[in-house]
Every structure is written in structure tokens, then in C-alpha cells.
């Protein structure tokens, strides 16, 4: 994966456009290297993961799967004598959080695929028509659950070595080993952007459509971004969201780039200590920029945790309005439906709004606590309110007219009645008025439940 949205950031605003290389023949493939001692260093999982997933998810015979991968390698890499293949090893401790996140995605995909298979079985049992999209939905979810078996990976390594390919089995991550082995003039082939931020990697080929490549030269990228040296690009990749850690909440490549670009430190010596001290007066406009006191101590606070706590306080106060709290599940007798307006807010002053972020957080919290949440458009909500008011008015008017008519008829029939009967009649009229109020309340409650 590499750095999140790195290539999109580089290509945005016409900063840099990679050069597309058509599928090269053998001569072109050899002459692209700077010298006879240079090599193509290929990150297998970063370059051919889609092929690996297709081969090992659909072939029960490992030999057939190995052959599919080898065929695609020969199609991309015209001469195996100048290519070195790198395979990932065991998971490093620094990427445990990324591994947990990917495992969560696989678990959700398994649950989704199980639901689709159950629905597919029900359609067949009921005689309903089965369409192509039902197969496509199941296949799409199953593709997200793929995890390459280490035994199959080791088998592919042995198979490629037997066919004359140079293979390096790395201890942990392949990108670390590739960056360590790369010399000036080598070409690295990978789809991950994290390889491009290493200082000694100057040329990166990204696999593209029709067996071609997108060539990215670091010198051209630095010129397009207006950076002074490759150390600034490395710093950008380190502080942005990547496989090893997250960026500061609310700051991604674009904002981090502005902060790094305005630093006045000399990056050419490779030292970044104190690089952010000088230009802090220029970047205070960024709302998450750390502030320093007279002694140079940083008083930066955890913005992500603070925002989370703020959302919890707001959510708790809102839930208390309906008799709940963020620390308790909804009680069965609390029959409440929470409706959220889907309107969006804007500001001519370009002030940042947390409306969407809080809604996403609030909906997830409500559903985890067992509440029913629905989204309502603003116009639709206003229409429902007007309709309910009209219906309530009509029902109240009908009840009052019926009560008045009934009372008038009884007065006519009892005009010649005795005084005792008249007293009893007045008492019953009082009871009827109370019943009418109860009926009105029940009708209003029924109308609200119906809505």
C-alpha cells in the first residue's frame, strides 16, 4: 500500500505526470538500465499481487498457480538475467496495527460473502431468477478475503529458482531490503509508494495497463513539487499516513507538504534536527501545528484523542434527551427512533466543519448501542411535519364536531326530563369530555408511530 494518497497528491494540480512506457522488448528492457552492473529490483507482492491472488485463489493445483505467475513475469520482465525478485518475509512488529486493520477488512468481507451466499441459496430454493450480478457480488467479496499461504509462497520461490530466476527471500519487509541493495542506476519495480521515498531509489516503475509501466523519476518529482532535496520527500512520507503509522488527525499529504516546504533548515546535510523551529511563525495558521515556549519545549496535544472526547461529550448529551447514555445499551421499553437530517452546511469564510465527521461517529455509536437510526432529507422532514399537523387538526376537528352534535341531540331528547336525570346527564358529559381528551392523545401517538 505505502503512503496513503501519495500518488494522487503528486499528480494533483499538474505537479508531475508519470511517463508511460509501452511493453518493452528485450533490447529496450536492457538499455533502460544505466550500466551492465545495474539490475531491476522487483517487489513481487507490491507489483503482482493481483496476479498472485487470481492464481492461488482459483487454482487448487499449486503447480498451475506457479505457472500462471511465471507467465506474467516473463510477459513483464523480458530478461530474467537482469532482474532480482524480492519476496516479503515474516511480519515486522511495526506493522501489527496495519495487519489488524487488514484482518478486520477480511473478517467483514467473509461475513458479507456469507450473507450473499445465503441469499443466493434462497433465490435458488424459491425458484427466483439468478442473474450474473449475484455471482459477481459473491466473487467480489471473496476476493477481499484472500491471504497468501506461506507454504504456497515458499513453493513459488523454489519454482522460480528452478527456472533460473534470482530470488531473495527477505526476513521481514521486501521494501527495506530493496532500498538497502539498490545502487545508483538501478530501477525498482513496485506499485507501493513507500519505496519511492527512500533516498537511494531514484527511478521507480509502476505496473500499468497492457503490461506497460509508469516511470517515475525522483529528480522530476522534486522539481514538480518544488522541493530542495530528497530528504524533504522522505520526511513527507514519514509524517504522512503509511503502513507503519498514522498522520496527525486532519493532516494528510497536502498539508504536510506545505509544512515541510516552508521549513528553512538546510536539508542537504541529511539532518532534520531543529528544522521546524525556525519557520514555526509561518505555519501557525495550521490548526494542528505545535507551539513552542521560550525554552523550546513543545506543548502539542493529541488532536485525535481530544476530538474523540469532544464527540463523546456531545453524543452523551444528545442521548440523555431520549433517556440513554453512551455507556448503556438501549432498553427494550425505550422505543425511540433517532432521525438525522441529511442536509449539508457550508461557510463563505472557509471555516472547517466537523458536521460530517460527527455524524459518521454518532451513527456508528448509536447502532452499537442498539438504537434505530434513519436519515431524512430536510425537505421531506418539513413535508412530514406539515402533513402530521394537518392530520392532527382534521382528527381533532372531527372529534369536536361529533361531540357537539351528540350533545345537542341528547339535550333535545332530555329537555323534558326530570332534575335528577339532568344532574346525571351533566356528570356524564364531564366524563365524556375526559374520554375525548384521551382519544385525542391516543390518535396523536398513533399518528407519530405511523410516521
DSSP 94-148: GGHHHHHHHHHHHHHHHHHHHHHHHHHHHHHHHTPPP-HHHHHHHHHHHHTT---
User: What is the per-residue pLDDT for 187?
Assistant: 93
User: What is the per-residue pLDDT for 297?
Assistant: 46
With 0-12 / 13-18 / 19 or more C-beta atoms within 10 angstroms meaning exposed / middle / buried, residue 317 is: exposed
Between CA 210 and CA 98, with CA 58 as vertex, the angle to 5 degrees is 80
Buried b or exposed e, range 276-306, using 16+ CB within 10 angstroms: beebbeebeeeeebeeeeeeeeeeeeeeeee
**Residue 82 grid coordinates:** 537482469
User: What is the per-residue pLDDT for 449?
Assistant: 54
User: What is the per-residue pLDDT for 266?
Assistant: 46
User: What is the per-residue pLDDT for 157?
Assistant: 93
Q: What is the mean pLDDT of each run of 10 residues along the chain (451 residues)?
A: 76 83 82 88 91 90 93 89 91 77 87 90 88 87 87 93 93 88 92 86 88 88 86 84 73 79 55 41 41 47 72 86 83 81 58 66 85 69 49 53 60 49 46 53 57 52
Q: How far is residue 360's CA from residue 265's CA, in Å, rounded to a whole number?
A: 40
| DSSP-assigned letter for residue 349 | T
Buried b or exposed e, range 42-63, using 16+ CB within 10 angstroms: bbbbbbbbebbebbbeeeeebe
Amino acid at each position: 500500500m505505502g503512503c496513503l494518497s501519495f500518488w494522487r497528491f503528486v499528480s494533483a494540480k499538474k505537479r508531475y505526470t508519470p511517463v508511460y512506457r509501452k511493453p518493452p522488448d528485450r533490447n529496450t528492457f536492457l538499455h533502460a538500465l544505466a550500466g551492465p552492473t545495474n539490475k531491476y529490483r522487483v517487489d513481487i507482492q507490491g507489483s503482482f499481487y493481483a496476479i498472485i491472488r487470481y492464481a492461488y485463489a482459483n487454482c487448487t493445483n499449486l503447480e498451475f498457480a506457479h505457472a500462471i505467475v511465471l507467465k506474467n513475469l516473463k510477459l513483464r520482465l523480458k530478461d530474467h538475467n537482469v532482474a532480482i525478485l524480492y519476496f516479503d518475509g515474516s511480519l515486522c512488529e511495526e506493522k501489527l496495527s496495519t495487519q489488524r486493520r487488514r484482518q478486520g477488512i477480511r473478517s467483514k468481507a467473509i461475513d458479507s460473502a456469507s450473507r450473499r451466499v445465503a441469499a443466493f441459496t434462497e433465490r435458488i430454493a424459491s425458484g427466483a431468477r439468478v442473474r450474473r450480478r449475484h455471482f459477481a457480488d459473491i466473487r467480489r467479496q471473496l476476493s477481499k478475503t484472500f491471504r497468501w499461504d506461506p507454504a504456497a509462497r515458499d513453493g513459488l520461490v523454489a519454482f522460480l529458482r528452478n527456472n533460473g530466476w534470482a530470488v531473495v527471500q527477505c526476513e521481514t519487509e521486501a521494501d527495506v531490503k530493496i532500498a538497502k541493495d539498490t545502487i545508483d542506476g538501478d530501477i525498482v519495480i513496485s506499485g507501493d509508494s513507500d519505496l519511492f521515498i527512500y533516498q537511494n531509489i531514484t527511478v521507480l516503475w509502476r505496473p500499468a495497463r497492457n503490461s506497460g509501466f509508469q516511470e517515475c523519476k525522483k529528480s522530476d518529482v522534486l522539481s514538480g513539487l518544488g522541493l530542495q532535496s530528497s530528504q524533504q520527500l522522505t520526511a513527507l512520507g514519514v509524517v504522512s499516513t503509511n503502513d507503519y503509522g498514522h498522520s496527525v488527525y486532519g493532516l494528510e499529504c497536502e498539508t504536510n507538504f506545505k509544512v515541510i516546504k516552508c521549513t528553512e533548515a538546510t536539508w542537504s546535510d541529511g539532518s532534520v534536527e531543529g528544522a521546524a523551529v525556525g519557520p514555526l511563525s509561518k505555519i501557525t495558521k495550521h490548526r494542528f501545528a505545535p507551539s513552542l515556549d521560550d525554552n523550546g519545549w513543545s506543548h502539542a496535544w493529541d488532536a485525535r484523542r481530544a476530538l474523540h472526547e469532544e464527540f463523546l461529550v456531545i453524543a452523551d448529551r444528545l442521548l440523555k434527551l431520549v433517556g440513554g447514555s453512551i455507556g448503556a445499551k438501549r432498553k427494550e421499553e425505550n422505543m425511540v427512533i433517532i432521525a438525522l437530517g441529511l442536509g449539508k452546511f457550508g461557510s463563505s469564510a472557509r471555516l472547517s466543519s466537523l458536521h460530517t465527521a460527527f455524524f459518521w461517529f454518532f451513527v456508528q455509536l448509536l447502532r452499537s448501542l442498539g438504537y434505530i437510526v434513519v436519515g431524512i432529507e430536510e425537505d421531506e422532514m418539513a413535508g412530514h411535519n406539515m402533513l402530521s399537523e394537518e392530520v392532527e387538526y382534521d382528527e381533532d376537528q372531527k372529534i369536536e364536531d361529533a361531540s357537539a352534535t351528540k350533545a345537542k341531540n341528547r339535550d333535545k331528547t332530555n329537555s323534558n326530563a326530570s332534575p335528577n336525570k339532568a344532574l346525571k346527564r351533566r356528570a356524564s358529559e364531564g366524563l365524556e369530555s375526559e374520554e375525548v381528551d384521551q382519544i385525542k392523545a391516543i390518535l396523536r401517538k398513533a399518528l407519530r408511530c405511523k410516521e
